[in-house]
């Protein structure tokens, strides 16, 4: 690890000399980005995403490939990327760790971090989340980024996250890519009920239907339903009817993605229906109140790893809204079981 740090310093020095700025200053990174992987393809994907993020948020990026079943070893590769010849925007450190040290990634990565800069830990794939939520990791990081949608058992994953949020309270700063992917659908639903004429129906919703691609109800689908339930303070039992399910007819590579949301309400003999459905890269929305109807189509935002993580780093998110959505999603999934 000391050798990796020295190599980074030497690379910076060589670039400054080569550009004729031997006495210049290295561009300051604004964060530490750490990606924890268990498969080589994940490490390649993480490196590509972090290089894109570094173009916007200058950073030291550390990609760790943990191979606990391999022989005990540690290999490092360091490189500089982006910017001009003398001012790269990102330092990339690739670590491959084999054997027992793979279970102690916090101790491995700590010496490589830039002091006094926030640390973002991105957990790729679907490894056991217990290590990511260890006390040492939670204390070290500004934010832990997971993708709850990568896990097969949505209900169990959300229940685990809810338990960790309860255990750490405000000390756990968690970002979920699955939650971020629901943002266009949450915005669509909120905007549909924003006009004065439709707002009263919020308290008289009778049915919420959420559909996703794949063979089973996804984390994204449960999170969207949980968000509705928590924001509207729905009771633990009784109405409205909540129907969260998968549409197996959709393309397999879209498994888990939201494809349809329908909200039905009735108030004083009048009815209202909000319907959103994905079509390609667009979200088509219709709002019908009695005989009056309106339609709208918006482009869905990019949902790749780099775009989502950059958005999470740039925007201050309200963690309490996500936590409440998770708790309600757990309740709803248990009721549906």
Q: How many domains does the chain have?
A: 2
The CATH number of the domain where 30 resides is what? 3.40.50
Residues 43 and 131 in one domain: yes
Residues 128 and 50 in one domain: yes
Non-local (6+) Cβ contacts of 8 within 8 A are: 78, 80, 91, 93
Question: Which residue has 């009048």 as its token pair?
Answer: 270
Supply the pLDDT for residue 23.
43
Owning domain of residue 331: 181-306+319-336
Residues 219 and 108 in one domain: no
Question: Which residue has 């991105």 as its token pair?
Answer: 122
Residues 133 and 220 in one domain: no
Instruction: With H, G, I as helix, E, B as strand and everything else as coil, classify residue 76.
Output: strand
User: Does 85 reside within a domain?
Assistant: yes
Supply the pLDDT for residue 57.
84
Residues 113 and 227 in one domain: no
User: Does 151 reside within a domain?
Assistant: no
Supply the pLDDT for residue 231.
94
Mean pLDDT by 10 residues, the chain (337 residues): 54 47 53 95 96 88 94 88 62 92 88 91 91 91 95 96 95 95 96 91 95 96 97 79 88 82 95 96 94 91 90 81 96 90
Residues 201 and 297 in one domain: yes
d(CA 177, CA 322): 11
Supply the pLDDT for residue 318.
79
**Longest C-alpha distance within the chain, in Å?**
78
Residues 142 and 185 in one domain: no
Supply the pLDDT for residue 24.
45
Residues 185 and 332 in one domain: yes
H helices present in 33-78, as ranges:
40-54
Residues 215 and 139 in one domain: no
d(CA 151, CA 88): 36
User: Does 155 reside within a domain?
Assistant: no
User: Does 286 reside within a domain?
Assistant: yes
Residues 116 and 59 in one domain: yes
Residues 233 and 330 in one domain: yes
Question: Which residue has 């740039």 as its token pair?
Answer: 314
Residues 40 and 125 in one domain: yes
Single out the residue of 252, 267, 265 nearest to residue 209, CA to CA: 265
User: Does 152 reside within a domain?
Assistant: no
For residue 185, what are its two tokens? 């659908």
Non-local (6+) Cβ contacts of 320 within 8 A are: none
* 185 CB-side CA count, 13 A: 30
Supply the pLDDT for residue 229.
96
> Among 125, 146, 167, where does a domain finish?
146
> Among 146, 167, 200, where does a domain finish?
146
* In contact, 158 and 326? CB cutoff 8 Å: yes
User: Does 51 reside within a domain?
Assistant: yes
User: Does 116 reside within a domain?
Assistant: yes
User: Does 170 reside within a domain?
Assistant: no
- What's the residue count for the chain? 337
> Among 146, 172, 191, where does a domain finish?
146
């Amino acid at each position: 690890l000391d050798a990796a740090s020295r190599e980074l310093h030497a690379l910076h020095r060589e670039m400054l000399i080569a550009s004729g700025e031997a006495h210049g200053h290295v561009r300051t990174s604004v964060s530490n980005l750490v990606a924890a992987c268990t498969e080589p393809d994940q490490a390649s994907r993480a490196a590509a995403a972090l290089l894109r993020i570094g173009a916007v948020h200058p950073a030291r990026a550390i990609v760790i490939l943990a191979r606990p079943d391999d022989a005990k070893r540690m290999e490092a590769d360091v490189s500089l990327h982006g910017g001009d010849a003398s001012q790269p925007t990102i330092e990339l450190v690739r670590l491959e760790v084999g054997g027992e040290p793979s279970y102690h990634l916090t101790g491995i990565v700590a010496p490589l971090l830039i002091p006094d800069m926030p640390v973002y830990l991105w957990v790729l794939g679907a490894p056991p989340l217990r290590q990511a939520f260890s006390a040492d990791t939670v204390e070290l990081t500004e934010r832990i980024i997971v993708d709850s949608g990568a896990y097969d058992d949505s209900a169990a994953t959300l229940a685990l996250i809810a338990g960790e949020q309860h255990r750490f309270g405000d000390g756990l700063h968690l970002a979920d890519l699955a939650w971020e992917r629901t943002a266009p659908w949450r915005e669509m639903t909120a905007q549909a009920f924003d006009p004065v004429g439709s707002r009263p129906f919020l308290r008289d919703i009778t049915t919420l239907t959420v559909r996703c691609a794949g063979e089973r109800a996804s984390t994204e689908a449960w999170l969207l339903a949980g968000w509705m339930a928590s924001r509207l303070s729905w009771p633990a039992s009784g109405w409205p009817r909540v129907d969260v399910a998968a549409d197996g007819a959709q393309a397999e590579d879209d498994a888990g993605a939201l494809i349809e949301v329908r909200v039905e309400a009735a108030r004083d003999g009048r009815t209202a229906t909000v319907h959103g459905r994905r079509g390609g890269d667009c979200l088509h929305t219709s709002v019908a109140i009695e005989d009056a109807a309106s339609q709208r189509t918006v482009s869905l935002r990019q949902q790749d790893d780099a775009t989502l993580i950059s958005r999470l780093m740039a925007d201050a998110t309200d963690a309490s809204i996500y936590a409440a959505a998770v708790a309600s999603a757990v309740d709803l999934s248990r009721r549906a079981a």
